[in-house]
Amino acid sequence: MYVITSKIFQNILSLFHQVRHFEQPADALLSKYFRDNRKLKKPEKNIIAETIYTILRNYFKLTKLTSSTEQLIIYSWIRFMNIPAREVENILPREYGAYLNLGKIDDTLIELPEWIIERLATFMTMAEIKLLDNAMSSQPDLTLRVNTIKMNRKELLAEFKQQGIAAVETKYSPYGVRIKDKSILMNNELFLTGCFEVQDEASQLAGVFFNAKRGEMITDFCAGSGGKTLIFGMTMKNSGRIYAFDNNERRLNNLKPRLARSGLSNIYAQLISSENDSKLKRLAEKMDRVFVDAPCLGLGTIRRNPDLKFRQSITSLEEMTRLQAQILQSASKLVKSGGVLAYATCSILREENREIVDAFIENNSQFEIINLNQSISEVGLSVADERYLELFPHLHNTDGFFCCLMKKN
């Protein structure tokens, strides 16, 4: 149940004027706005954020009816957040009364730019694209990953039950837990002591399929803030050695508190200048497994980042695919004979996924794609092609995600 006020309305008006330029990520603008307006209470922040994201998730439907920011907010509240019209009317200035005359929402519209639809249409029907769009326009549950170094999933669920937190097991990941209420977790003692991390089920499955083993030498080539690095360390039972490389110091710094909470001691985070850094050359052909969590357009995360679809373009896709091919080629040099190379993105576009892998295999005959049929069967998945872990929100209730494993002969 939402409690709306004229103060909340005015704050959303002010914030959305910044967001709708699509020059910066919406979550970054929200964070800055809340830092600059510290007197806002937590329930107020929650309604402000949810309204902004509701507008972004339904932007084409809403802007077909109006260009007025005031009406975008009102329509979102009444039509998508189910706030009674009378409550909305009671908090509006009198001159906004005419804005309550709502038009009919066109539910057939797809909330994706045309250039994305065109690319999806090469392997999906329009009916499938609409199902995908519906799933990406809905707010996802929060997915957590238990840290089995600290406790198992049954123990975590029991702790949540004792705290009155409604939680269920994920369908596919053996480590995952889904919850509805995300507001209570960041200060939860179980989180602060490293018993769980926030991680989408798709990313968890990448860790399961990668199957890092005790005592191995692993490289996480684009580690970022270390979500997958941590699951590798966990499945390795805190043994072996994991090199977590990234060229962004801020992202690597975000790994430090997560690593401290995790109880892991087999992870070595290192800043590199590029995919050709000398630190990498010293590890040539020494790695049992190399995971390339490649930078991508991130379109698989639109459920959580709906503004992404407006901040990307055909030009950014062309630039990204060139970078992805370069990174995969550089990372492959670290894999020893008999080792495994993984390529992954949180993208739904084949240009960033299958086509990158296919081009790499064509130019590197010493690598071959590993069929994932056994792993897919073990977790109960259904995918179109068992050479790839290829996940979609409308089919698997996860982020859009791609992963392919390759063995070096």
Average pLDDT over residues 213-230: 94
Q: Give yes or no: residues 167 and 242 share one domain.
A: no
> Which residues, other chains included, contact 260 with Cβ-Cβ below 8 Å and sequence gap of 6+?
194
pLDDT > 70 in the chain, percent: 99
Q: Give yes or no: residues 388 and 310 share one domain.
A: yes
Q: Give yes or no: residues 292 and 234 share one domain.
A: yes
Quote the CA–CA distance of 207 and 381 in Å, as a whole number.
Answer: 15
Q: Give yes or no: residues 251 and 326 share one domain.
A: yes
Q: Give yes or no: residues 330 and 395 share one domain.
A: yes
Q: Give yes or no: residues 239 and 271 share one domain.
A: yes
Quote the CA–CA distance of 344 and 360 in Å, as a whole number.
Answer: 13
Return the amino acid letter for 259. L
Judge whether 17 lies within some domain: yes
Q: Is the pLDDT of residue 247 over 70?
A: yes
Q: Is the pLDDT of residue 404 over 90?
A: yes
Give how far Cα 146 sits from Cα of 58, 103, 124, 143, 354, Å. Answer: 33, 46, 34, 10, 30
Q: Give yes or no: residues 17 and 68 share one domain.
A: yes
Judge whether 119 lies within some domain: no
Domain count, the chain: 3
Q: Give yes or no: residues 79 and 225 share one domain.
A: no
Q: Is the pLDDT of residue 96 over 90?
A: no
- Residue range 319-359, pLDDT digits in tens: 999 999 999 999 999 999 999 999 999 999 999 999 999 99
CATH number at residue 192: 3.30.70.1170
- Residue range 148-201, pLDDT digits in tens: 999 999 999 999 999 999 999 999 999 999 998 776 677 899 999 999 999 999
Q: Give yes or no: residues 295 and 368 share one domain.
A: yes
> Which residues, other chains included, contact 135 with Cβ-Cβ below 8 Å and sequence gap of 6+?
303, 392, 393, 394, 397
Quote the CA–CA distance of 168 and 303 in Å, as a whole number.
Answer: 20
Quote the CA–CA distance of 149 and 62 in Å, as a whole number.
Answer: 47
Judge whether 123 lies within some domain: no
**Cβ-contact 88, 27 below 8 angstroms:** no
Q: Give yes or no: residues 238 and 170 share one domain.
A: no
pTM across the whole model: 0.93
Q: Give yes or no: residues 253 and 288 share one domain.
A: yes
3-class secondary-structure state, position 336: strand
Q: Higher pLDDT residue, 275 or 140?
A: 140
Q: Give yes or no: residues 245 and 391 share one domain.
A: yes
Judge whether 122 lies within some domain: no
- Residue range 187-213, pLDDT digits in tens: 899 999 999 999 999 999 999 999 999
Which range marks the domain in which residue 344 is found? Answer: 210-408
CATH number at residue 264: 3.40.50.150
